Chain A
Amino acid sequence: MSATTLERNNKGTEKFSSNNEQQTTDAKIKVKNLDLFYGEKQALYQVSLDIKEKEVTALIGPSGCGKSTFLRTLNRMNDLIDGVKINGEIVIDNENIYNSSDVIKLRTRVGMVFQKPNLFPMSIFDNVAYGPRMQGIKNKKALNKIVEESLRGAAIWDEVKDRLKSSALGLSGGQQQRVCIARAIAMKPDVILMDEPTSALDPISTLKVEELIAQMKKDYTIVIVTHNMQQAARVSDKTAFFLNGEIIEYDETDHIFSMPKDQRTEDYVTGRFG
């Protein structure tokens, strides 16, 4: 390893320790020294990060920097990929999620919204009711209630309430993405992970989703990966800047965008690379 990268690592660790002091102990998600490998290739280096309850945390950085990979460790979606290895720990509600083997329970608590809307080829109702049904809820009244509340929670109830039984795939992309959010909400999770949720949407739909995120934060802890710096600035309380699998800087969103401590963060948020 060259001298410059070593220096960078040192700097990084220093910063994290100072960060940790700032954090209060009520962090919802605590990540400590997380390394992740795809086979031989290391994708995350010593990532440490505390995420507070009912805040929106944005993960930004150039493509391939590991932000999506990191997000997917939080609900163990990386387990689906052969040959992924993880060191370090992720604690959610005082439980190390990689020690507990109950990944089903984890994913009911930590919901996820993907880059492209991925509704199933079923009706809108069935899509939203899918998760609760799989948990064994069969009572029709209860399901109706969950579906309505979830669609309301995702601010799409009024648009779809008359066509709940028609195919979800007939909706526009923006509507589909909000139904995806409703589908995640239906599980009553504590945490919702969003992996570039607006990257496939037009500006108006994007705005709607952003408004939704702002509303949702009073009920949920949200972690959002985004390519869009303005979006991070608009929706998030905290922002973490990822570069080459490391966290370069993690701070209040205002600080990251107005007075970043690290030169590379500044270069990135001002659009000088990425």
Chain B
Amino acid sequence: MRKFKDNFMLGLLWFSAFLTVAVLVVIVGYIFFKGFRLINFDFIFGDYSPVGHGGIWPMIITTIYTIVISLIIATPIGILAAVYLQEYAKQGRLVRVIRFATESLTGIPSIIYGLFGAVFFVTTLKLGMSIIAASLTLTIIVLPVIIRTTEEALKTVPLSYREGSLALGTTKLQTLYKVILPSAMPGILSGIILSMGRIVGESAAIFLTAGTVAAMPESIFSSARTLTVHSYLVTQESGDIELAAAVGIVLIVIILVLNLSATFISKKLNKADY
């Protein structure tokens, strides 16, 4: 009886794993199968046109804009915030409040960020539906990611480095940028790359703050659509699954490249000679 039960559970484990892998393979396979015919030079680097399948260069540029702007803002703030929490703050109520806030930000769904961005950046700050409004919203979304990964990276820097440096009559600031941050850099970098992935994959918050204009953005104050929003809209409005899948391929490749480089960098961290 026990043997039967064990075998049954074992079968269930195999089955579940098979199911998971199968489903995920089917999804990725389907996207590739459905979309690969559209992928060519003109599709990726061409300008958008409403007839046919259109190029997606404007969406790629918009996506890059959102990544660059939000990271330019979120990276320094996130790193310095993590530095404060790990290196400066005395454990106490203030730190608990900051940590609680950071964790809570992680749990907020992106549609709520979208609502906030729409009323605060778009309306109150009068930025309008624009790349900049979306990027500022994304800044808040990735801030906790950068803070957390940087904190983890700082934790791996041995205390003895800090002591060794301070004992030489350096200031905390000097110790920070000469010894601590360089040692933590691989971890921080892979955190930043993960945030890029988060930004690329984001849709709801961007949908409500950047709008849906399908054209090359004139400036960061223009409304525009990112790759994910494009993929959503062509499915929703025209049911063009083939086009959505082709955009999907581009998205998956971007995510793949980002993940591989994050893995590569953190592997380097482990191999680094200290």
Contacts and interface: CB of A to CB of B under 8 A. Distances in A.
Interface in B159-184: 160-171, 174, 178-179, 182-183
Residue with the highest number of chain A CB atoms closer than 10 Å, among B161, B164, B166, B179: B164
Interface in A135-183: 135, 167, 169-170, 180, 183
Residue with the highest number of chain A CB atoms closer than 10 Å, among B165, B166, B167, B272: B167
A134 B179 CA distance: 12
A118 B160 contact: yes
Contacts of B179: 120
B158 interface: yes
A4 to B, nearest CB: 37
Interface residues of A, number: 29
Contacts of B167: 75, 77, 107, 111-112, 114, 184
Contact of A121 (B162, B169, B274): B274
A7 B157 CA distance: 46
A104 to B, nearest CB: 5
A90 B96 CA distance: 36
Contact of B166 (A80, A105, A135): A80
B163 A184 contact: no
Contacts of B273: 121, 167, 169-170
Interface in A60-99: 75, 77, 80, 82
19 contacts: A75-B167, A77-B167, A104-B171, A107-B166, A108-B168, A108-B169, A112-B167, A114-B163, A118-B158, A118-B160, A118-B163, A121-B183, A130-B178, A131-B169, A134-B169, A134-B174, A134-B178, A169-B274, A184-B168
Interface of B: 90-91, 158, 160-171, 174, 178-179, 182-183, 272-274
